[in-house]
């Protein structure tokens, strides 16, 4: 009595075996043999397509790429950092965030409210 190998293996084991064989085949296909440089063309021979193709720009090394601007790095004449929402308030003599100061002091959170509180003006 002779039985074929795959018919004697349970169905789940066959699926696992086929998946493993497929993965092995895919991984082995990823390995490529090293290529030899093409011989230079001599008179009367056409250049290989790779030699006439436009060159691809090399990526810049990471250390040469410009750094993004850092929030809070720039300051105004009073030392306040506008990028973090701070502005100079003459009344408190400090850098303040307008919306936070409006909540703390109870004035309207608008540019006019800010100027009325901090500068004493009605811009």
Domain ranges of the chain: 82-118
Residues 6+ apart with CB under 8 A from 103: 109
> Are 79 and 89 spatial neighbours (Cβ–Cβ below 8 Å)?
no
pLDDT at 105: 94
Q: Which of 85, 112, 88 is nearest to 99 (CA)?
A: 85
pLDDT at 108 over 80: yes
Of 1-15, 33-47, 67-81, least confident by mean pLDDT is 33-47
Specify the pLDDT at position 106: 94
Classify burial at 60, counting beta carbons within 10 Å of its beta carbon; exposed 0-12, middle 13-18, buried 19 or more: exposed
How does 41-58 read in b/e, with b if 16+ C-beta sit within 10 Å? eeeeeeeeeeeeeeeeee
């Amino acid at each position: 009595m002779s039985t074929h190998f795959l018919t004697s293996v349970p169905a789940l084991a066959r699926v696992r075996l086929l998946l493993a064989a497929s993965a092995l085949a895919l991984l082995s296909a990823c390995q490529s043999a090293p290529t030899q440089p093409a011989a230079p063309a001599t008179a009367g021979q056409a250049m290989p397509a790779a030699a006439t193709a436009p060159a691809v720009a090399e990526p810049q090394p990471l250390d040469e790429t410009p750094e993004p601007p850092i929030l809070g790095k720039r300051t105004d004449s009073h030392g306040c950092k506008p990028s973090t929402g701070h502005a100079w308030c003459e009344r408190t003599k400090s850098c303040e965030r307008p919306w936070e100061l409006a909540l703390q002091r109870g004035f309207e959170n608008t540019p006019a409210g800010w100027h009325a509180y901090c500068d004493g003006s009605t811009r």
